[in-house]
A and B are shown apart, each in its own frame.
Chain A
Amino acid sequence: MAKKIIATASLSGCFGCHMSFLDIDAKILDLIELVEFNKSPIDDIKKFTKQCDIGLIEGGCCNDENVHNLLDFRKNCKVLVSVGECAIMGGLPALRNMVPLQECLEEAYLNGPTVRDCNENKIIPNDPELPKILNKVYPCHEIVKIDYFLPGCPPTAELIWNALVTLATGAELKLPYESVRFD
């Protein structure tokens, strides 16, 4: 059986889900028997070099770069999985969703106690090179079609492993009670 090809990305996340992924410890040796990595921070491949079978997305979409990245993943992956609370519902970055964007930026760059006295020209960063921030943080499935969801902050290594084995081999998904967590 040909190895399945995996790509992973961290959008507006903290890399905690990737860390939890690495918590599969020695099973990573079994994993490389099952799959081959393509675009991913794990092997540092920056661009898709071929069509992938499985895409794991960590983090939601908070700026236009995240959106482009996600669309790229949708185009290049047969199956896309939202991994973790941020990809599923925006997570902690989405705490700003209840505050208008203008107020958010003003607090962060003009009025906050740590910037109030040092931002003399009252500049909110606007270099064209910078990704443009969205009006709110979007869960991935509100931008593209997501096929599967793995909750948790981060999802347990056990859950990620079981899901990957299921996707790579077609085995039945095991979901022990303790492996599904929202925190």
Chain B
Amino acid sequence: MAFVKFIVDGKECMSEEGKQLVEAAKENNIYIPTLCNYPGIPPKGSCRICTVLISGRPATACTTKVTEGMDIQSAVPELESFRKSVVEILFAEGNHFCPSCEKSGNCELQALGYKYTMMVPDFPYMFPKREVEAWHPKLLKDHNRCILCKRCIRGIHNNDGKTLFAYGKRGDKLLINIDPETSKDISDELAQQAMDMCPVGAIIRKEKGFAVPIGRRKYDKMPIGSDVEE
């Protein structure tokens, strides 16, 4: 296994060659924010929030593999302001009613809003008309909150290896559907896994909610990424 040296924001780092840049940075206690990326599943590079500058050129850190001598800029004002805008766009584009969401406090989109001290999105709210699919036996799919990151499609499979989720429609009507057949008799563990993998509150496990009280939720006390940073 070959090790390579690379630089992030002037800090010399070391990791295995060919490792995902997000993961390689994490090993060196550097947090690069992600939304569509999830450890252990193939990266997609759709949300662009992990954009870094490699030798001055923008690239997504989740789809880029680390090589010898890479010179990376991440926590620079230009990129941080760009990342804040991505979060703001996502808040304005969907219907994100944090006060009434079960995922509030454990939501990665919300946590990034906190990280960037987003007081209000800089974009006009769109209030699109979206459906809530509450008829699935194990899961609830709220299209109002979905940010189309595709984590669930890439990461959640039943015992036969079949995916439970799939894209439907196109363009601005794009949505993620739950397959009623494969999802109807999934285990509670898999339902929980699907809910945990969703960065927002678009996939909710039914019959169990608000288990963790306010004040003890994931991002109540510590900002997202603080477990990675020194």
Contact = CB atoms under 8 A, between A and B. Distances in A.
Interface of A: 82, 85, 88-92, 94-95, 97-99, 136, 139, 141-142, 148-151, 153, 175, 177-178, 180-183
B114 A177 contact: yes
A148 B120 CA distance: 9
Interface in B120-174: 120-121, 124-125, 127-130, 144
B117 A175 contact: yes
**Residue of B95, B99, B114, B117 ringed by the most chain A CB atoms within 10 A:** B99
3 residue pairs, one from A and one from B, having the closest CB atoms = A153-B99, A182-B98, A149-B119
B98 A153 contact: yes
A92 B127 contact: no
27 contacts: A82-B120, A85-B99, A88-B119, A88-B120, A89-B121, A89-B125, A90-B125, A90-B127, A91-B99, A94-B127, A97-B95, A136-B127, A139-B125, A148-B119, A149-B119, A149-B120, A150-B119, A177-B114, A177-B223, A178-B220, A180-B114, A180-B117, A180-B119, A181-B114, A182-B104, A183-B104, A183-B214
Interface in B79-98: 95, 97-98
Output the residue of A90, A92, A151, A183 with the most chain B CB within 10 A: A183
* Interface of A (DSSP majority class): mixed
Contacts, number: 68
Given A149-B119, A180-B114, A182-B110, A85 B128 contact: no
B127 to A, nearest CB: 4
Contacts of A90: 125, 127
Contacts of B144: 98
B221 interface: yes
Nearest to A136: B127
A141 B121 CA distance: 11
